[in-house]
Chain A
Amino acid sequence: MNINLEKINGYNVLFIKEERIDAHNSGELKEYILHMIEQGEVNLVVQLEKVRFIDSSGLGALLSGYKNAAAKSGKLALACCKQQVLSMFEITRLNRVFEIYADLDEAFDNQI
């Protein structure tokens, strides 16, 4: 899983540099997020602009991160989802769980 990490406005922004998140790489994404939270980095934005496909295991990895961040009074939000990726969150109603922002500016405006 190719991820670029940048600290912007006090948030850790994870730029996912993969077109596809599936059962082959979602475990790595889950571990990466959990490792950050264990290090005390509990405010995360996952930037999904490059991602054109996500499966149930990818949704599960993000949900795991969301729950673990929330358990430590942090927040994991999503930004820049392509329409078809967003529709996966809608079908599973996970759009009611995650805060999903059109871009990073909107994410920062709403979270900080």
Chain B
Amino acid sequence: MCTSVLQVEVIIPTQTKYLDLIGSIGEHIAKELDDFSGDREALAYHLNLVLTEATTNAIKHGNYDDPKDTVRIAINIHNNELIIKVYDHGQGFDLEKVPLPDFDNPKECGMGLFFIRTLMDTVSYSRQGDSNVLKIVKYLN
């Protein structure tokens, strides 16, 4: 059981140089989790990847590369659930209409959301006030 409560919130400019910072936070959280019995190294990589992909999407698609805009990332652990929320200020998109990659004819783009969906347990995207929020949940037990 992972019973500890943890909450981290980071706001970054919409610049890709901050991806390493955001990914590293996820990796550190995985390594410090109390009583996690799964593959800690794999979880560390997966959280790094998912935070990197979600933040990249928010920077590139959400905020139209406006240098004054920001992306907010919130990470929360409670009741054995790790919840990531990434907020953007763009037009938004329909998560259900994002197709799976074509594995027989692979393309250079479109693998980011596939990683998030494959490696995490639930993913949703919705409007909250003046932001869109990509909510990602990973069960830790």
List residues of chain A with CB under 8 Å of any chain B CB. 20, 22-24, 53, 55-57, 59-61, 63-64, 84, 87-88, 91-94, 96-97
Given A20-B20, A55-B115, A61-B108; 11 other pairs, CB 8 A cutoff: A22-B19, A22-B20, A22-B52, A24-B16, A53-B49, A55-B112, A63-B106, A84-B45, A92-B115, A93-B103, A97-B106
Interface membership of B114, Cβ < 8 A: yes
Q: A56 and B19: CB pair below 8 A?
A: no
Interface membership of B132, Cβ < 8 A: no
Q: Chain B 91-110 against A: per-residue CB contact (8 Å), 1 yes, 0 no?
A: 00000000001010011111
Q: A64 and B108: CB pair below 8 A?
A: yes
Bound complex: CA A5 to CA B55 (Å):
31
| Cβ contacts under 8 Å, B114 to chain A | 56, 92
Q: A56 and B53: CB pair below 8 A?
A: yes
Q: A55 and B52: CB pair below 8 A?
A: yes
Q: Chain B 19-34 against A: per-residue CB contact (8 Å), 1 yes, 0 no?
A: 1100100000000000
Partner of B106 from the list A24, A53, A92 (CB cut-off 8 Å) is A92
Bound complex: CA A22 to CA B101 (Å):
19
Can you identify 18 A-B contacts, CB atoms within 8 angstroms?
A: A22-B20, A23-B16, A23-B19, A53-B23, A53-B45, A53-B48, A53-B49, A55-B52, A55-B115, A57-B112, A60-B108, A60-B109, A60-B111, A63-B106, A64-B108, A91-B115, A92-B115, A93-B106
Nearest A-chain residue to B115, judged by Cβ: A56
List residues of chain B with CB under 8 Å of any chain A CB. 16-17, 19-20, 23, 41-42, 45, 48-49, 52-53, 56, 59-60, 101, 103, 106-112, 114-115, 118-119
- Tell me how far the C-beta of B139 lies from the nearest C-beta in chain A, rounded to whole angstroms: 19
- Tell me how far the C-beta of A82 lies from the nearest C-beta in chain B, rounded to whole angstroms: 10
- Tell me how far the C-beta of B14 lies from the nearest C-beta in chain A, rounded to whole angstroms: 12
Between B110, B112, B114, B118, the greatest number of chain A beta carbons within 10 A of the residue's beta carbon is seen for B112
Nearest B-chain residue to A20, judged by Cβ: B20
Nearest A-chain residue to B27, judged by Cβ: A53
Q: B20 and A94: CB pair below 8 A?
A: no
| Cβ contacts under 8 Å, A87 to chain B | 45
Bound complex: CA A63 to CA B20 (Å):
22
Partner of A56 from the list B17, B42, B112 (CB cut-off 8 Å) is B112
Bound complex: CA A101 to CA B45 (Å):
22
